[in-house]
Structure 1
Amino acid sequence: MKPTLKTARNLSLCLAFFLMLANKASAQKYFNVQDYGAKADSSTLATVAIQKAIAAAVKVGGGTIYFGPGKYLTGPIHLKSNINILIDAGAELHFSDNFDHYLPAVPSRWEGTMVNNFSPLFYAYEAENISITGRGLINGNGKKWWATSENFANVQPTKYMEIFKQNNKNVIAPDLKGWIERGFLRPPFIQFMFCKNVLIQGIKIINSPFWTVNPQFCENVTVQGVTIENPPSPNTDGINPESCRYVHISDCHISVGDDCITIKSGKDRDGRRMNVPAENYTITNTTMLSGHGGVVIGSEMSGGVKKIVISNCVFDGTDRGIRIKSARGRGGVVEDIRVSNIIMKNIQDEAIVLNMQYAKTEVEPVSERTPIFRNIHFSNITGVDINVAGKIVGIEELPVDQITFNDIQMDAKEGFNLLNASNIEFHQVTVNAKNGSALKTDNVTNLELNGFKTNKPLADSPVISLKNTSNVFIHNSWPKAGSPNFVSISGSKSSNFTIKNNNFKALKNPVIKSSEVKEKLVFD
């Protein structure tokens, strides 16, 4: 029968449909590692099989490396462009703790210094469109690695120390001082270097040898819905994006042996040499439990950190909440930071701390070695069962500058302490301190207190204690009865106070000053 025009058209449509399906299947091609020799019972090392699967995917332009349910034992996995590692529900990747499996050394960055070191467990260099996804588990098997750091006092020379020395003859040794003495440097769990379009999503990560998720010099990084659990262990930070641009961290659950999330940009001279800032990060909708800090900036921030937004997070049981730290010698600028809508409880040290004296140093002239903290803003934060509500520690030659606190509620053993700071504002801040004043200052200039109060005044302490503090504006306050004074002023450098639009009816002596304060106080 002679084909009709309609029949020909239908055949063409069917052919087009099957071609579309074929193209779609090709675009979504899966490479099951078991087809390349990997065993799902952890009986043999799967490293070579995984490498074969990745190589096969690269030949066709990329694809998904698939791990089905089961346990896989492997050494390091090196991703190439357009590769997705899919670890399905029920699948577990257990990384070998045989240090030889992580040689030869690869270009890396360690604690802010460029080195050649053991391969990270997941590694990529100058790749694009790479991802690790799924609902499975990856286990770094870090216990043996941790022992090399915890027992460093008894470290004996090993071949790994010699390999490290041979591979790092040009490394600026002082920048790694204190770590080299431990013998050699542990690898990060996931470290992608100079990559673009990175996604880590859904997986659970445990027992990292060192820092867990550590992209370096990357652009457009997303870490979403990831669970990270490391037991008490040395330097097992959760997510540490260094010198990256456009980083998005959301919907994660983190409990680790060091900081939960840390933003860094290189250390001292080597960090300034690379001079790549960490910028344009968003961190949101994340819970953080055990850890030295919830979200931390520094102390390796020599390339600068800027344009960071932290919001809608819960810190429960971390040593500190928001921590920004540096020291003389680091250099770099931390600026344009916004922290909002945060709940903190059971914080062992400070809920908020900005510390430019993280290491003991002497005063020196301002130079490229001088760190700078400025334009940092905190709002809508509630803290309960806190040790210290907040602390700002600047350096004499360059104080912390332009810091604001808005709508803060803190129940703490101690209140806020400010040293070496300028242009500080508190708006509608309530601090219920169990010991001492709710706010103490020393060597502070340009301080505004708007509606600052405590709901639980102490009979032996003024609400606010100002020492060597100048250019102060206190307004819209309504202290409750119970404190001996609302404001106590001391120090020969204290001057220029404006105290107005307050309701001091509940206090007999709302403002007092020591004899060394020469300025006459006028207030209403």
Structure 2
Amino acid sequence: MKFYYLNLLLLSLLFSNITLAQHTINVLDLGAKNDSTGLNTDVIRKAILQASSKGGGTVYFPAGKYITGPIHMKSNITLFIDAGAELHFSDNFDHYLPMVESRWEGTEVTNFSPFIYGTDLENIAIVGRGKIDGHGKNWWKFSEVDVRNGLQNSKWQLEFKRLNKDVLAPDLPGWVERGFLRPPFIQFLRCNNLQIKDITIVNSPFWTINPQYCENVLIDGITINNPPSPNSDGINPESCRNVRIANSFISVGDDCITIKSGKDRSGRKVNIPAENYTITNCTMMRGHGGVVIGSEMSGGVKNIVISNCIFDGTDRGIRMKTARGRGGVVENVRVSNIVMRNIRDQAIVLDMRYAKGDQEPVSERTPKFKDIFISNVAGSTNRVARISGLEEMPIENISLSNINMQATSGILVEYARKISLYDIQIDVHNTPTIQASNAEFLDIQKIQNYNVNNQKSHIQLENVSQVNISNNFPFKSSTFLELLGSENKQITVHNNNLKNTTKVTQGNTQQVTLSNNIQ
């Protein structure tokens, strides 16, 4: 009886392996060339259709070098790019016609086909230890197309204009004329259960991985390496839900990871937020920003966790950016356990003035940042943090805690409310340690600076109200608290050890209450 069941088990396993083999299609068996000759677009399309006709399966690329045009996926299909296999995408623009439904920098358009593309699919994957190369150099030349190079009326741009006559363009005019609309490398629209794992991606023509309106997205263990190049962002999930990005290495010509949800009128019309994102255990080496939210965030961004990452040599670390006209709300963001080294500009920046615009009444065009908590950050940078809201919409409920950084400039807060700065050790020399203006409800505790400039105050306030300053023990300071102007109100300074301070306050101190300080 035992042998009977053992035989049944062996037969079952054998049958399952045969079924798996039948659903794995080796592209070489269909005539693909892996010796850098020929164009394999039709063979790959045939393999995907064949697997799809059986309910799904794996399209397998053994080691070798494959040249191809766009790959359009089907549901229940896995592209398996094995170690030693390289997919090289053609840089002949005609291969990416006819144009397809797409989204370009947060605006819905009809555009060149992305290199790997699909709409309204489920259960799709791109996996393996191989490499895909976008050969972006020819595309990068057209990042700025205008009358100076005679390509403003190229056949591709004329076709784009023909297909996009009724496009809901961003608020700022001239967005099409300013550039040649290069396609994203990998873009899926309205797909469910998407995985991209272990592959290496290089030389993207535009944004590299750009899922749109997708749900349950896993990006794990990948490498993206784009040289300095225009708009070659790494991973840009837009208006997606339940996204996990982990264990990846990214070095690109623009932002490394960016969370977006549409731009201006188009983004507000679609109104699909980016929500429930986890980003963890990633390393970013080159790029304008390590992890960025915006500036296209008109559909809103919420419930974001960023942890255990390293940014080394990016222009900025954590960056949230928007502007008047965007609309949308960024809320419930948690950032923790981040190491930043050699950050060129700001380690932390929350900027609602990314584009110039005049103050206007609050409306659907008004963006909002709130409920953002950043802790356990260490490293070196130019400016530690800049928190900059709008007159009509201050940034609200922000916490920076356990920050330890060497920098040139300290923390700047303007047009904000309900701001907590706690347990911060930053060595800065060119500015006051903390500067705040046009803000209310500030809680400033345990702030230290070991590289004090005696010409600068420790804390500088201008036009602020409802401020608590306590539990500080400055290493040294010529002036602990500097007050600019006459509009500061209800400032309480208590329980500080100021024995290393030459002067406790400077400026108009009429609204300052001092108590229980050691001097």
TM-score of the pair, normalised by structure 1: 0.95
- Maintained 8 Å contact 1:403/1:425: yes
1:213-239 superposed Cα distances (whole Å, 9 cap, x missing partner): 000000010101100000110000000
Residues 494-505 of structure 1: pairs in structure 2 closer than 5 A: 494-505=488-499
Residues 119-268 of structure 1: pairs in structure 2 closer than 5 A: 119-150=113-144, 152=146, 153-156=148-151, 157-175=153-171, 177-182=173-178, 184-268=180-264
1:102 maps to 96
Among candidates 396, 412, 436, match of residue 401 of structure 1: 396
- Deviation, structure 1 residue 499: 1.0
- Deviation, structure 1 residue 249: 0.4
AA aligned opposite 1:25: I
1:70 maps to 64
Structure-2 change in CA distance of 1:165 and 1:151 (3 Å): closer
2:354 maps to 358
For residues 410 and 183 of structure 1, the distance between their equivalents in structure 2, rounded to whole angstroms, comes to 39
For residues 468 and 322 of structure 1, the distance between their equivalents in structure 2, rounded to whole angstroms, comes to 27
- Deviation, structure 1 residue 16: 5.7
Structure-2 change in CA distance of 1:480 and 1:318 (3 Å): same
Residues 51-66 of structure 1: pairs in structure 2 closer than 5 A: 51-66=45-60
For residues 37 and 177 of structure 1, the distance between their equivalents in structure 2, rounded to whole angstroms, comes to 48
1:357-394 superposed Cα distances (whole Å, 9 cap, x missing partner): 1010000000110000000001000022x111110110
Structure-2 change in CA distance of 1:198 and 1:423 (3 Å): same
1:56-115 superposed Cα distances (whole Å, 9 cap, x missing partner): 100111111000000000000011111000000000000000111101111111000111
Q: How many residues align?
A: 513
- Deviation, structure 1 residue 434: 2.1
Aligned residue for 1:503, secondary structure, equals coil
- Deviation, structure 1 residue 438: 1.0
For residues 233 and 416 of structure 2, the distance between their equivalents in structure 1, rounded to whole angstroms, comes to 30
Q: Are 2:387 and 1:389 equivalent residues in the alignment?
A: no
- Deviation, structure 1 residue 184: 3.5
For residues 236 and 226 of structure 2, the distance between their equivalents in structure 1, rounded to whole angstroms, comes to 14
Residues 441-520 of structure 1: pairs in structure 2 closer than 5 A: 441-481=436-476, 483-514=477-508, 518-520=510-512
For residues 108 and 283 of structure 1, the distance between their equivalents in structure 2, rounded to whole angstroms, comes to 25
Structure-2 change in CA distance of 1:221 and 1:155 (3 Å): farther
For residues 86 and 171 of structure 2, the distance between their equivalents in structure 1, rounded to whole angstroms, comes to 37
Q: Are 2:28 and 1:34 equivalent residues in the alignment?
A: yes
- Maintained 8 Å contact 2:170/2:264: no
- Maintained 8 Å contact 2:108/2:168: no
Aligned residue for 2:156, secondary structure, equals helix
For residues 106 and 462 of structure 2, the distance between their equivalents in structure 1, rounded to whole angstroms, comes to 37
Aligned residue for 1:144, secondary structure, equals helix
1:419 maps to 414
For residues 229 and 179 of structure 2, the distance between their equivalents in structure 1, rounded to whole angstroms, comes to 18
AA aligned opposite 1:472: V
1:434-477 superposed Cα distances (whole Å, 9 cap, x missing partner): 20211111101000011111122221111111111111101111
AA aligned opposite 1:503: N
- Deviation, structure 1 residue 178: 4.1
State the identity as a percent.
54
- Deviation, structure 1 residue 15: 5.2
- Deviation, structure 1 residue 47: 0.3
For residues 520 and 201 of structure 1, the distance between their equivalents in structure 2, rounded to whole angstroms, comes to 57
1:380 maps to 376
Aligned residue for 2:142, secondary structure, equals helix
1:3 maps to none
- Deviation, structure 1 residue 150: 4.2
Aligned residue for 2:356, secondary structure, equals coil
- Maintained 8 Å contact 1:148/1:155: no
AA aligned opposite 1:388: R
- Let me know the Cα RMSD of the aligned residues: 1.5
Gaps of 5+ in 2: none
AA aligned opposite 2:368: I
Gaps of 5+ in 1: 1-5
1:194-221 superposed Cα distances (whole Å, 9 cap, x missing partner): 0011110000000000000000000010
2:10 maps to 17
- Runs ≥4 in structure 1, deviation > 6 angstroms? none
AA aligned opposite 1:260: C
For residues 321 and 298 of structure 1, the distance between their equivalents in structure 2, rounded to whole angstroms, comes to 14
TM-score of the pair, normalised by structure 2: 0.96
For residues 478 and 182 of structure 1, the distance between their equivalents in structure 2, rounded to whole angstroms, comes to 53
AA aligned opposite 2:418: N
- Maintained 8 Å contact 1:199/1:223: yes
- Deviation, structure 1 residue 19: 4.0
1:339 maps to 335
AA aligned opposite 1:522: L
Residues 269-308 of structure 1: pairs in structure 2 closer than 5 A: 269-308=265-304
Among candidates 110, 115, 121, match of residue 116 of structure 1: 110
Structure-2 change in CA distance of 1:16 and 1:479 (3 Å): closer
For residues 270 and 402 of structure 1, the distance between their equivalents in structure 2, rounded to whole angstroms, comes to 28
Aligned residue for 1:398, secondary structure, equals coil
